Structure 1
């Protein structure tokens, strides 16, 4: 009986820890703010740091059809993508990290546009511009 209780407790701790460390909040407000910037066809850039109301040190932009494996490899940690971007072409995914942990993510509606980081691999608070390319 003790072994069973011990096993159940360990299993609960593992499952709780996994879901706690794996679920970053979906920042819906950031997605809406970006949407309103892209909605104005005169805008060609998005400055993320002016919109983000949380602490972050790296921001990664994932294109439609990005794979879970590719996301995990670039982040260096497992992030269970709740948007299922690997099957979608209507959004981009922004994933923000602080101290090598995913802290927030946002879904960015395409709205007839593609988004680019230029030559950089990821965003930082001091280099936070996403370029809008209309099609």
Structure 2
């Protein structure tokens, strides 16, 4: 009986660890690429497909002060937001999913420009740059 309970506990723990998305990678290379595009005043949009070297089938750009519950509803998955965007006004949060799992994210500084809010796919990957 004790072995059975121990086995159930191990399976349950493994399931919980496997479902945890805290190991999602922040893509700082993508952030730098986006900054380069924004700094060139001739550019009016960012085509993500050009700068992503990983598999993704959906991306969502979140505005400052977006609460984690709202992020999770929009994504359709449980994502522990490492950026703390819910209490920040200095970044946008760009989250990439592949096969309904968060695979990477980027924190995009607002100081470099504002952006159109949209849901993106590899075939519709343009984020509009809003300049003042």
Q: Give the secondary structure class of the aligned counterpart of 2:97.
A: strand
CA distance in 2, matches of 1:8, 1:126: 43
Structure 1 unpaired stretches of 5+: none
How many angstroms apart in 2 are the aligned matches of 1:72 and 1:55?
A: 20
Contact 1:112 1:134 survives alignment (8 Å):
no
Structure 2 equivalent of residue 45 of structure 1: 45
> How far 1:36 moved relative to its partner?
1.1
- Structure 1 runs of 4+ aligned residues shifted over 4 Å read 3-8
- Does residue 61 of the first structure (1) align with residue 61 of the second (2)? yes
TM-score, normalised with respect to structure 1: 0.85
Q: Deviation at 1:67?
A: 0.7
Determine if contact 1:39/1:111 at 8 Å carries over to the other structure.
no
RMSD over aligned Cα, in angstroms?
2.1
Structure 2 unaligned spans of 5+:
none
| C-alpha deviation, 1:93, in angstroms | 0.6
Q: Which residue of 2 aligns with 1:13?
A: 14
- 1:82-131, CA deviations, whole angstroms, 9 ceiling, x for partnerless residues? 000111111111101111111111111112421004xxx41011110000
Count matched residues: 131
State whether residues 57 and 98 of structure 1, in contact with CA within 8 Å, keep that contact through their aligned partners in structure 2.
Answer: yes
